[in-house]
Structure 1
């Protein structure tokens, strides 16, 4: 039986801002900037770049970082309604995030069940923050994704399933190549236009629901 499956990014998609960037701007020394530029230009892998960025931060900052994000991070308009819409209209919704568990789970608490969330982990037992990678690339991917979204898509769907990807950044590019439809903003939107991926632009999750309503009307 075929399924309708949605893979939704977290940072800069569900949240209005990219939380990793916010953390680095607030807490990291200037060296993080070169790592960020290397990831965005695809000169270094996401896994390498994010791992090295968090290694710049002392583990002792954990509670301060969580407090900072709880005070500053905001959920994009319409997301709560979108989750209910997906559940009520036969969509399987997965959150696939290059973010880290110690802030992804608290920010999504009460919105998405934990078993529907796939993200990276963190180890605070050492002097600096060590990022853990429970969802690394499978044998079909060698991009060093960290949380490998294409691998998760292959694991969670069959070829016949309808696959919708919602995202905004370089970490969503590889999974977008495997999608039947992409709903994009920011960097990902530019790349979809450049590469010719089937896509729609979104600003809020009300836009996403409007697309799904139109899809249902025309039966695609």
Structure 2
């Protein structure tokens, strides 16, 4: 799969203390999917929000968060492919699984949104028998996944901000049907950087427990 995120900032400071933003990273539309002309017309151009520039291929869903507890509201934005909110089913690509959303995190500095983090392969597209939800909690957020059906499965991943970065704290899983269990995986004694977490981690956990 082609990577369609580009950074214009070399040697970017990873610290939470960010100076006034002088350049804007860009998220382009994926180049691996063929879109009909009437679909292309819907995604022309770019938006500049959250301290980043992104293609109109993506619809943004912002959530307010104060992840560093400084009483200033920051933003988490989910950038979903446009067809997720489009009634025109002819614009759906053949393989939805590889066209996953981006998660963008920006910090508010002097009333301006300054880009902080972007994560790819963290979230999935909702589809038949599968639902995903992101919720804000103190110092971070959770990602919940639910697979419906006779052999249902639910997971909730807890993510928090500490030491100028985001980490996975724990993952709760529950299964019903043929395999029945409730388990919690904790990462208290070791750091699990969110950049190393992928949406497929839940599938691996499910496969290991369903034995």
Question: Could you tell me the TM-score, scaled by structure 2's length?
Answer: 0.29
Larger CA Rg, structure 1 vs 2: 2
Question: Could you tell me the TM-score, scaled by structure 1's length?
Answer: 0.28
Greater relative contact order (Cα 8 A, min sep 6): structure 1 or 2?
Answer: 1
Q: Which has the higher strand share?
A: 2
